[in-house]
Amino acid sequence: MLVILGFAMIIVFMTLIMTKRLSPILALIIVPTVFGLFTGAGLGIGEMVMDAIADMSSTAALLLFAIIYFGIMIDVGLFDKLVGFILKVAGHDPVKVVVGTALLTGAVSLDGDGSTTFIVVTAAMLPIYQRLEMSPVVLTCVAGLINGTLNIVPWGGPTARASSALQIDANDIFAPMVPALAAGLLVCFVFAYFLGISERRRLAKNGVAWVDEARSGTSGSKRSDLVGAVARSSSGSNSSSGSGSGAANGGTTSATLADGDSDSLDAGSGNNSGSGSALADTALDPNRATLRPKLFWFNLILTVAVMVMLIADLLPLPYLFMIAMVIALMVNFPNIKAQQEELASHASAIIAVVAMVMAAGVLTGIMSGTGMVDAMAEWLVAVIPSSMGPYMAVITGLLSIPMTFFMSNDAFYFGILPVLAETASHFGISAADMARASITGQPVHMQSPLVPAILLLVSLSGVELGDHHKKVLWRALIVSLVMLAVGVLIGVIAIG
C-alpha cells in the first residue's frame, strides 16, 4: 500500500506542477499532506515536517544570503566593467564576440537567476550581433549552454533542491563537482569558439566583412540606432509581463529557487528614453543610483575571496555568505535607509527561496516519516537487476537529462531523486554521489520550454524556440555527458 501511495503521490505532484494546476509551493504542501493522511500518520505528520524543515534550515540560509550578496554585486556595478571590457576587446570579430558572450554569461550567471542573466546578456550583446549581421541563435545557444552548466552552483536551484530532498549539505554536493563543472565549461567555450568560427565563415561567404569600426572610420549612428531599438524592445517585452523588482533602480529580477526557473520574467518598469544605451532599464542600467564605481576593486577582491573560501570549504557556506553580505552592504551602503532599500529590492527573490525550501520539508518529511520512501526503494531494489545496482548513480545522471527537460526541477528532485537515492543506498552508493549525478543534466534542463527564463532569452533575441533547440540541444547533451563522465572518472560519482 505504501508503494502504491508513494508512486501515486509523485504522479499527482508532478502532474499538478507540469500542468500548472498548482504552483510548486502549494503542491509541495498540499499533495504530501493529503497522501500522508491516507497512510494513517494522523497528527504525527506535524512532527515529521518540522524535523525535515530543521534539517533544511542551513540550505535556506545559504540561498537567502547568496542571492542577496550577488544581487548587491550586480547593483553596485561589479559586472559593468566586464561588459565594457568585452565590448572593447571583442570589436567586430565574430569569434571574439561569441567568446565574449560566453564570458559575460558566465559572470552574470553567478547570481543564480537565469532571467537576470539573459536580460543583461541580450541587452549588452544583441546590438553587436545585429551590427555584424551575426545570427542571434548563436547568442541564445551560447548563453543557454553557459547558464545551464553554471546552474549547479550551491545557491542555484538543482543543488539546493538535491540538498533539501536528500538532507545533505549543499557544499558536499558542489565542491567535489568543481572539476566536472570546469570540464563542462571548457566544452562550452570550445563550442563557443567554433560557433564564432562558423559565423565568421558564414559572413565571409555572404560578403559581409568583419572590420574594426575604429579602423574603418564607420559612423556609430547605425550602432546607436540598433542599440536604442534593442533597449526599447527589451523594455517593452519585460513591461508586458508585469512590474519588476526594482531593476530600474538597480534591483535584480525575482526568481523562484534561483535556478533560472523564474516565474517572474520582469526586467523592470518604465519607458526607455532611447538614448542609445542597450543597458537602460536592465540590471546593468548605467544610470542606476546604486552604482559604486569607486568601490569596484574592493567588491572584486571581496567576491574573489568568497569564491576561494567557498571552494576551499573553510567556513560553512551559509555563514560565509552572511559575512560577505554584511561586509558588502556596510561598505557599499553605509546609510541605514539605503541598506534597507537595497535589501527590500531583493525581497521577492528571498521570499520565494525560503518559502520553496520550507515547503520542500513537507514533502521530504512525510515521504520519510511515513515510510513511503523505504517501501518504494525496497520495491525498486526487487525490480532492478542486481547487476545494475552498482551503477545507480550513473543511471541517475543519465535519467536526469531527459527527466529534467520534460519535467520541472521540483518534480525530479523532490519526487524522483529521493526514491532513486534510497534504492542506491542498498547497493552502497551514498546520497551525496546520487545528488552529484543528478545535477549533471542541468545544461539540458535549462533549454526546456518549461523554463520561463529560456523563453525570455529567445523572445528578447527574436529567435524561434525550435531554431534554438536545433543548435543547442545536442551540444547541451554533450556537456551533460562530459560532466557525468568526469564525475565518475575522478571518483565523486561512485560506481558501487
Question: In sequence order, which residues have a C-beta less than 8 Å from that of residue 326 and are 6 or more positions away?
Answer: none
CA 242/CA 96 separation, integer angstroms: 35
Which three three-digit cell numbers place residue 34?
A: 493529503
pLDDT of residue 251: 38
pLDDT of residue 445: 92
Question: In sequence order, which residues have a C-beta less than 8 Å from that of residue 262 and are 6 or more positions away?
Answer: 113, 114, 115, 253, 254, 255, 256, 452, 453
Question: In sequence order, which residues have a C-beta less than 8 Å from that of residue 253 and are 6 or more positions away?
Answer: 113, 115, 116, 119, 244, 245, 247, 262, 264, 265, 266, 267, 268, 283, 349
Comparing C-alpha atoms, which of 82, 145, 147, 76 is closest to residue 110? 147
CA 105 to chain centre: 11
Region for 243 from its dihedrals, namely left if φ exceeds 0, alpha if ψ lies in -120 to 50, beta otherwise: beta
pLDDT of residue 301: 93
CB half-sphere exposure, 282, CA atoms < 13 A: 29
Query: With a cut of 70, which residues of the chain have pLDDT below it?
Result: 18, 82-84, 86-87, 111-113, 208-285, 311, 349, 353, 380-381, 450, 496
Yes or no: say if 174 and 454 are a contact pair by the CB < 8 Å rule: no
pLDDT of residue 141: 96
Q: Which amino acid is at 369?
A: G
| Residue environment code for 159-174, b if the CB has 16+ CB neighbours within 10 A, otherwise e | bbbbbbbbbbbbbbbb
CA 310/CA 313 separation, integer angstroms: 5
Q: Look at the block and give the residue holding cell 565574449.
A: 100
* 161-195 tens-digit pLDDT: 898 888 888 888 998 999 999 999 999 999 999 99
pLDDT of residue 59: 73
Give first-to-last CA distance, the chain, whole Å.
30
CA 233/CA 456 separation, integer angstroms: 12
CA 395/CA 30 separation, integer angstroms: 30
pLDDT of residue 374: 75
Which three three-digit cell numbers place residue 228?
A: 536604442
CA 347 to chain centre: 18
Q: Which amino acid is at 357?
A: V
Per-domain boundaries in the chain: 1-209+332-490
pLDDT of residue 65: 85
* 235-276 tens-digit pLDDT: 443 333 333 333 333 333 333 333 444 333 333 333 333 333
Its pTM stands at 0.65
pLDDT of residue 56: 76
| Residue environment code for 97-125, b if the CB has 16+ CB neighbours within 10 A, otherwise e | bbbbbbbbbbbbbbbbbbbbbbbbbbbbb
Q: Look at the block and give the residue holding cell 525498486.
A: 380
Yes or no: say if 482 and 414 are a contact pair by the CB < 8 Å rule: no
